[in-house]
Amino acid sequence: MHRLPKILCLVTISLLLLTILQGLTHFLPLKPLKGAYLSAERPAFTPQAFASGQWQQDLDHYLKEHHGFREPAIRLYNQYLWTAYHRSTNPGAVAIGQHDYLFEPWFVDEYYTGCYAHFYPDSVPDYEKDQVFFRRISRLAKLQAILDQQGTHLFLALLPGKERIYPQHLPDRGAHARSQRLFGHHRAYDFYRQCAPLYGIRHVDICHCFDSLRGRTPYLLFTQTGTHWSNIASTYAFDSIMRFMQTFGPAIRPVKLGQPYYASTREPDADLDDLLNKTFRIPTERNQYVDVAVADPAPDSNPSLVVIGDSFFWNILHNYPIQELFSNFRYWYYFSTIYYDTAHDNVANIDLVEQLLQADYVMLSYCTVQLYNLGNGFVDRALLELCYDPDEIQAVRDSLANAPSTLSVDERMERYLEQYFPALAEEVPTKRSSRLTQLRP
């Protein structure tokens, strides 16, 4: 027994040395933590930074993020919190619902109160909230009409959110929140569902489809531990979307859907559980999947597709051979980052008019929560650049920049676009940019 303290001391020293060695060399490859975060960089030593104490603070911050075996240590602690107290260290990113169903918090907000406040200031009065939606759908109808004249088919896909399909699993916010919901709030989906037909907007309402399927399918429409629609549900949904597209646009190469089967959870069906960064996943029922095969023979040419949308389209990309079905496929993620385009990585660097004229289909793909900011500025920019020359647009921006206002130039442009560019006030604008006539004389 007298050797036990020495043995424990040696083990402790060995673990400390291994931790230091791992932090310095990373000799053991470790699974990185999930989520988005900014990693601290090693601070450069300067006498001034040392004398002020800033270097010591920065180094301490760096060492906390880069010590050895940090990832398994964090996962072990998070697993302890979950097992002992049924909570997470990241409640701002993951809300724990009934029966261990996980939700993003803003989907919970959407069910109880709507998400208008997530995208617009609370100070905006109710009548102005309605005007935001009316402006956007009116401009969308005008953009659709202009693109139709050029042979480009724009349409809107209304996608469901998890809060709508499985409200029985949401966190219970109490009687007050439930009574608030009864009185109704501004919800973007309800507006676009009702007004899109009135404005003649081509749209496919997958949300309504999922409402009718709720509880009637042998597979989950949304997985227990994921925020997006399940892989199998998104596969069937996009098959329906492609059938809808061909009612007004060029033919799309047919696909064959296999028989559903059970398999280990695939990305991103457990993306919220992954964000908890625990040692073990939450036990769930096995998820179903279905394979997609492109039918033969191949057509002479495939139509081209541009998708502007949120992260729900990633599920489709995980399952569908999109590039075999569409030529020049582009994914403008939140109308910001560009994927599947070797020449461009951001929409700020593209010739938008040229890109739109080259597309057969343009799909706006947004779920219930993201519909509050439909297009992420795409509709206004596309409408402007199709109708006005760059120098005309810049002249207005310059004049606004020189005019005092509590609103930014972009905010004023969004709110008063038709005032600054009168041609856009027409039911279908007749003015065209010279760029358009150059590309389509």
The answer to whether 164 touches 108, Cβ cutoff 8 Å, is: no
- Specify the pLDDT at position 35: 67
CB atoms within 10 A of CB 124: 14
Sequence-separated (6 or more) residues with CB below 8 Å from residue 94: 88, 102, 103, 104, 105, 272, 275, 276
Sequence-separated (6 or more) residues with CB below 8 Å from residue 87: 81, 96
CA–CA separation, 441 vs 44, rounded Å? Answer: 58
- The structure's pTM equals 0.88
pLDDT > 80? residue 168: yes
- Specify the pLDDT at position 182: 46
Sequence-separated (6 or more) residues with CB below 8 Å from residue 41: 62
How confident is residue 178, by pLDDT bands cut at 50, 70 and 90? low
- H or E stretch including 305? strand 304-309
The answer to whether 287 touches 315, Cβ cutoff 8 Å, is: no
DSSP state of 299: P
The answer to whether 226 touches 266, Cβ cutoff 8 Å, is: no
Q: Please state the length of the chain.
A: 441
Alpha helix (H) ranges present in 266-312?
271-276
pLDDT digits (tens, 9 = 90+) for 327-370: 999 999 999 999 999 999 999 999 999 999 999 999 999 999 99
Question: What's the one-letter identity of residue 152?
Answer: T
pLDDT digits (tens, 9 = 90+) for 420-434: 999 999 999 999 999
Q: Given phi > 0 = left and psi -120 to 50 = alpha, else beta, which region is 398?
A: alpha
How confident is residue 121, by pLDDT bands cut at 50, 70 and 90? low
User: Collapsing DSSP states into helix, strand and coil, what is residue 294?
Assistant: strand
Residue 29 or 144, more confident? 144
